[in-house]
Amino acid sequence: MRLSTKSRFAVTAMIDMGLRQHQGPVSLAAISQRQHISISYLEQLFSKMRQHGLVDSTRGPGGGYTLNRDANHISVADIINAVNSPDGKEQISTDAEQNGYVSTEELWSNLNQKMEDHMQSISLHSLIADQLSKGMNLPTNNSPRRGVFTQKPTSSVTTKAPNSVFALGKHLINSH
């Protein structure tokens, strides 16, 4: 298991999506804006996670990504393994073995297994719950307010001015 920037970004993006998925599909553009991760990088990550069955995509307006299974059944290890290519075993040359190279393969293998077991024990749901317990504020609506909708409605204006030429004439006659 490789703990890389790629895996860190993938876990961050999945937490972000998990926090907002009850509002519908979450767009990569929205995740990109909130987490400061480039959209093209997110596309690569989510493509791999979709191939591994972690997320599902919806096309079209209002489209985006949703979790393909319950957050309780997605572990951090699942996310990391989805975005990282499997590592090949390190090849030790026969010359290195003959010259007294000490193999530490068992040490690294044991450490890797311990990390894998620990990451497997952490669910995406627990990370989402942790963010919510820290008081993360989520907007109640997924759609951004744009254009005239961003302005607060103004109160209606009432005037005492006449609304036509005839009313103006009548007003002038009555005022003198």
| Host domain of residue 30 | 5-87+103-150
How far is 148 from 56, CA to CA, in rounded Å?
A: 34
Q: Determine contact, residues 10/79, Cβ cutoff 8 Å.
A: yes
Cα distances from 148 to residues 80, 96, 140, 141, 152, in angstroms, run 43, 71, 19, 17, 9
Q: Kindly state the average pLDDT of the residues 41-56.
A: 95
| Model confidence band, residue 11 (pLDDT cutoffs 50, 70, 90) | very high
How far is 18 from 21, CA to CA, in rounded Å?
A: 5
Q: Does 161 fall in a domain?
A: no
Assessment of whether the complete model's pTM goes beyond 0.75: no
How far is 16 from 13, CA to CA, in rounded Å?
A: 5
Q: Hey, what's the torsion of the CAs at 71, 62, 56, 80, to 10 degrees? A: -60
How many independent structural domains does the chain possess? 1
Q: Kindly state the average pLDDT of the residues 21-42.
A: 92
What's the pLDDT at 123? Answer: 93
Q: Does 156 fall in a domain?
A: no
Q: Does 157 fall in a domain?
A: no
How far is 143 from 154, CA to CA, in rounded Å?
A: 22
Q: Does 158 fall in a domain?
A: no
Mean of all residue pLDDT scores within the chain:
82
User: Residue 4: CB partners within 8 Å, gap ≥ 6?
Assistant: 84
Which one has a higher pLDDT value, 30 or 135?
30
Which one has a higher pLDDT value, 140 or 62?
62
Q: Does 94 fall in a domain?
A: no
- Domain at 47, CATH number: 1.10.10.10
Q: Does 93 fall in a domain?
A: no
Over residues 87-122, the pLDDT tens digits come to 545 555 566 666 656 678 888 888 989 999 999 999
Q: Does 81 fall in a domain?
A: yes
Q: Kindly state the average pLDDT of the residues 23-34.
A: 92
Q: Kindly state the average pLDDT of the residues 118-142.
A: 83
- Please state the three-class secondary structure of the chain as a single string: CCCCHHHHHHHHHHHHHHHHHHHCCECHHHHHHHHCCCHHHHHHHHHHHHHCCCEEEECCCCCEEEECCCHHHCEHHHHHHHHCCCCCCCCCCHHHHHCCCCCCHHHHHHHHHHHHHHHHCCEHHHHHHHHHHCCCCCCCCCCCCCHHHHCCCCCCCCCCCCCCHHHHHHHHHHHC
